[in-house]
Amino acid sequence: MKLSLRARTEPEVNMTSLIDVVLLLLIFFMVSTSFVKQSQINISLPEAESSTIVDEPAEQIDIMITQTGTYLVNGRELINSRPETIRNALQKIAAGRSDLPLTISADANAKHQHVVTAMDVAGRLGFTQISIATVNDPVE
């Protein structure tokens, strides 16, 4: 007796039903998702209720710069606006104490270069407590 062997067929997985389920889930999630558009974030910054004046240290150095570029160190006008003159005036007033606080205040129309020059001279002399003064708007 001669037996003939049939060709073995590979088992197949029917993917049609799986694809249908995935597509239905995709459509469900697309329909049920809500899209929120956030255009900007509003930030409410705090405001001071009262302006208290901070007590200034007994000794400090003030450099004022006028609109024309004239420097005043502790209220005394310098003869010119060269960096060497500013350095000599700061050295004379500080008397070697570079730990004194230094405040630079400039006219609104003064050139930025004059402020940078004053900061550069003060930094080269070793001043580390340098601050720039501003003017508060009057309350209406």
Q: What is the pTM of this model?
A: 0.54
Task: Give residue limits of the domains in the chain.
Answer: 61-132
Contact 80, 73 (CB under 8 A): no
Q: What is the mean pLDDT of the chain?
A: 82
Contact 103, 61 (CB under 8 A): yes
Contact 69, 111 (CB under 8 A): yes
Check pLDDT > 70 for residue 106: yes
CATH 3.30.420.270 fits 61-132, yes or no: yes
pLDDT digits (tens, 9 = 90+) for 33-80: 876 666 666 666 667 677 666 554 448 889 999 888 899 998 888 998
What DSSP character marks residue 70?
Answer: -
